[in-house]
Amino acid sequence: MSGYRVAVVGATGNVGREILNILAERQFPLAEVAAVASPRSTGDIIDFGDSGQELKVKNLEHFDFEGWDIALFAAGSEVSKIYVPKAAAAGCTVIDNSSLYRMDPDVPLIVPEVNAEAIDGYRAKNIIANPNCSTAQMVVALKPLHDAAKIKRVVVATYQSVSGAGKAGMDELFEQSRNIFVGDANEPVKFTKQIAFNVIPHIDSFLDDGSTKEEWKMVVETKKILDPSIKVTATCVRVPVFVGHSEAVNIEFENEISADEAREILREAPGIMLVDKREDGGYVTPVECVGEYATYVSRIREDSTVDNGLSIWVVSDNLRKGAALNAVQIAELLGRRHLQKAA
């Protein structure tokens, strides 16, 4: 049977499970798939999406990457630091979801709708990086507008769901919400402040200039993926939503572009679903994007405070486009452009 031997590392986590779901959903051409995780999950049985197939979790510490075509890593930077170089050295091409290799000049940082051709540089280290979830959905929306009118500056405020902080983040929102209703104590553990019925303007660690690492990632990754000349400033906020990141994006262009033109461009753009009616409910919220592949754009309007300005609202399932879907799309692109093992 033709197809790829694919290992999913971190298969028991939020993103790892989603990667398995999407590989099954999109009928990725597989000869074999392995669910790989830390020793504590070894031997667990997990579903391979809705395929009816079950996978027995293999121990990462003993897993031999030799003979495997692609490894999709979704286990965080600490695990990637140890095992990604091992997998790459064994001839297995790694698609890494952690932040570890994103800014490495020898590692392509890929969003297939935006910079597919950059994948050709993967051979330098046999590693391809998956961008930060909030960056991924934003550049999908920015790319066709940049092609049309050249973006000078982007100001973005994010409204990021707790699933971006893993299962512990989702559990904390659930527990705190319940505790508040019944009058129990709700001390924060995963987050720095109460997340239920609150918003927290702090994601990842603080840097010397007062920004957070999440904000820095959005700046440098957008430049690497889209165009180094674009100026970006971000404020990243955690909100009490389980799944789905939202972004209020203000864009300043070199050239003239109207809201109507932007709407026409985005309606045709790959990976985008335009839902923009100027009426009650004529926009998309995170609840509606869960489980969907698309990046949704709404609320397109002109900003008269700058020359050639637009404001847009961008929403996407962060576990999908922001992580798992993008990783699988990279694997599909790698297969088409380079590995060519599928019939």
What is the three-class DSSP state of 162?
A: helix
Is residue 83 within a helix (H) or strand (E), and if so which, with residue range?
helix 77-89
* 13 labeled binding residue: yes
Burial of 300 (0-12, 13-18, 19+ CB in 10 A): buried
92 is catalytic: no
Distances (CA, A) of 148 to 215, 266, 297, 325: 26, 11, 17, 26
133 is catalytic: yes
* 130 labeled binding residue: no
Residues present in the chain in total: 343
d(CA 116, CA 112): 5
What is the three-class DSSP state of 250?
A: strand
d(CA 113, CA 329): 9
Indicate which residue of 146, 236, 245, 289 is catalytic: 245
* 340 labeled binding residue: no
CA dihedral angle for residue 205, residue 285, residue 226, residue 104, rounded to 10 degrees: 30
Report the largest interatomic distance among the alpha carbons of the chain, rounded to a whole angstrom.
59
* 5 labeled binding residue: no
d(CA 106, CA 81): 16
Q: How far is CA 253 from the centre of its chain?
A: 25
* 238 labeled binding residue: yes
* 38 labeled binding residue: no
CB 90 within 8 A of CB 70: no
- Nearest residue to 332 (alpha-carbon basis) of 295, 274, 293, 297: 293
d(CA 130, CA 190): 24
Q: Dig out the tokens for 199 from the structure.
A: 């918003």
* 160 labeled binding residue: yes
* 316 labeled binding residue: no
Indicate which residue of 92, 133, 236, 289 is catalytic: 133
d(CA 142, CA 222): 9
Q: Is the dihedral of CA 192, 217, 283, 289 positive or negative?
A: negative
Annotated binding site: 12-15, 40-41, 102, 160, 163-164, 238, 318
**Per the annotation, where are the binding residues for NADP(+)?**
12-15, 40-41, 163-164, 318
Please list the active-site residues. Answer: 133, 245
Binding residues for substrate: 160, 238
